[in-house]
Amino acid sequence: MVFSNIVVAVDGSTASQEAVDHAVDLARHSNAVLTGIFILDSQWPDFIGNDWQSSKGARQGFLDHIRVEQEEQAAAARAQFESASGGLEHATFHVHAGDPTDVLIEQANSDKTDLLITSRRVFQVSGRPSLKALGTTLARKALRPILLLP
């Protein structure tokens, strides 16, 4: 099987380092296009949705606080991807926004993706509790090849 388009989920953590290293190796061997992705979690407003707030900026202040952390995470992910994929000719890094689980499943099932590589623990560094089940959900819903690392 030839993989000409490989996608790897990156979040800057040690867990994702292994996934990136594997992805870079594979891309190099099969001369594939490698895409690193990070997903800004858009589900936080919903997650804190049913609480009571009366003050002017509390909710937005909280969401901005979370967003800053996520953007730092995205920057770390980008740095991790760029340093690992240094020698590769076709390597790009994308930042998406959405529910990480949904976006990752969509990526895995896209015609343009021949192989999706990710750690089970990806996006947990600054994630909501349900992202712990991301790996399991992905394994269940993926229709195309995926490589799920611990």
Which residue among 74, 108, 138, 149 contacts another protein (CB under 8 A)? 74
Residue 88, both tokens: 């590769």
CA distance 24 to 88: 8
Which residue among 5, 17, 98, 110 contacts another protein (CB under 8 A)? 98
Note whether 113 binds another protein by CB under 8 A: no
Note whether 71 binds another protein by CB under 8 A: yes
Q: Is the dihedral of CA 111, 114, 119, 123 positive or negative?
A: negative
* DSSP annotation of 60: H
User: C-alpha angle 106/118/83, rounded to 5°?
Assistant: 115
Which residue among 20, 99, 115, 135 contacts another protein (CB under 8 A)? 99
CA distance 17 to 102: 22
Q: How far is the CB of 129 from another protein (least distance, A)?
A: 4
Note whether 112 binds another protein by CB under 8 A: no
Q: How far is the CB of 21 from another protein (least distance, A)?
A: 19
Residue 89, both tokens: 């000719």
Which residue among 127, 138, 146, 149 contacts another protein (CB under 8 A)? 127
Can you spell out the DSSP letters for 28-44? Answer: HHHT-EEEEEEEEE--H
Note whether 133 binds another protein by CB under 8 A: yes
Contacts with another protein, residue ranges (CB under 8 A): 38, 40, 42, 44-67, 69-71, 74-75, 78, 82, 91-99, 124-133
